[in-house]
Every structure is written in C-alpha cells, then in structure tokens.
Copies of this chain bind each other. A is one copy, B any other.
Amino acid sequence: MSPGRLEAFSDGVIAVAITLLVLDIHVPNPGGSLAHELGQMWPNYLALVTSFVTIGIIWINHHAMIGRLRAIDHTLMILNLLLLLTIVILPFTTSLVAEYVRESSGQHLAAAVYAGSFLVMALAFSATQRHILISRPGLLRTELSEAERRRILSRALTGLVPYAVATAIASLSAYATLLICMAIAAYYASPFASSSERPDQPTG
C-alpha cells in the first residue's frame, strides 16, 4: 500500500467524523422561546467549534506525518487505524461534554472524558510518530538526522502535556477543562504554531 492511499482513506474517515459533529446540534422543539432555547445551547456551540478545530489540526499534522513517508508497514497501518478510532469517537465525547457541562452531577466526569479523548488521540498520534521516526526510519522518504527526528517526536510528546493538564483539572472544574481545550485549539490555529512548525513542514 502506498502512503497516498493510506492518506486518502484517513482523510475520508476524518472528513466524516468532523462533519458528524453537527449532529450534536438539535433543533429545539417548537413551543418555547426559540431565542432562549438557542441561547441555552452555548455549550454545544463551544464544544463543536473546539472539536472541529482540534480535528482540523490533527488532520494537518497527520498530513505532515504521512508526507514524510516513502513506504508503509503493517504496524503503521494498525497504529494509523487506532489513531482513526480515537478520532471517530470525538463526536460522542463532544456531545457528552456539551450535554453535561452544566449538570451538577456528571460534569466533572464528562469534562475528563472529553479532554481525555483528546489526550488519547494525541497519544495515538505520538505512538505513530514514534514508530516512524525511531523504530522504522527506513520508512521515511528523505534522510532526517536523528536529532531532527527526535525533535519532531518531542514536539508531538510536548503536545500531550496540555491535554493531560486539562484532563486532570476536570476534577476541580469542568469549565476550566473546556477552556483549556479551547485555548489549545486556538493556539495551534494561530500563526505562532505555524512558525514553530515551519522548519519541517515546508508548504507548497
């Protein structure tokens, strides 16, 4: 299998998952005040945007990862499959936190599951990167120095920290967890993230 086919299939799964996020936004039943009902749904909007941008960024990073490959092995296919599994469950964890963030009972657990699902996704991504960069560098298209490979991997591992913090902090405040997840998404979408990743992701 060529890296291109693996990428096309992954793109398909990610595109479906990112679009299914909208199924979490339900039309309120007529009868009450629509403005009030739509206003009540703010956790759904925040969770939707946060998850959408986060999945969009993992898609960008996935691209950079696959773009470095010249070949694929069985382990990589399975690791990639597990990574896709962690992405596919995000519409569920997004719905969960949107539904429970204001509930007195369950809000901490729901927030922990939400941030935890991002943490697991980032772990699967790091494990896949590790397999490519450390265990099987022969899969890479171009020769990268070990220093360079370790630098890329350590950036992926660094990305785990904020999600671990967001997950841990859920026991204190579900809102704080949601806020951290939003901040992470905003950071990676900002030009700051862009310039720090430029060196090994030449565009064009």
The interface residues of chain B lying within 8 Å CB-to-CB of A201 are 1
* A27 contact from B19, B74, B95, B193, Cβ within 8 A: B95
How many of chain A's residues have a CB under 8 angstroms from any CB in B? 70
The interface residues of chain B lying within 8 Å CB-to-CB of A7 are 5
What is the bound-complex CA distance between A99 and B37, given in angstroms?
14
Flag whether A199 is at the interface (Cβ < 8 A): no
Stretch at the interface among A10-18, A148-156, A159-167, A176-184: A10-18
Interface membership of chain A positions 54-95, coded 1 if the CB is closer than 8 angstroms to chain B and 0 otherwise:
001001100110010011111101100100110011011001
A/B interface sample: 16 pairs, CB < 8 A: A1-B60, A1-B63, A2-B204, A5-B11, A12-B16, A15-B16, A18-B84, A19-B20, A19-B88, A20-B23, A22-B92, A27-B92, A30-B105, A33-B105, A52-B81, A78-B189
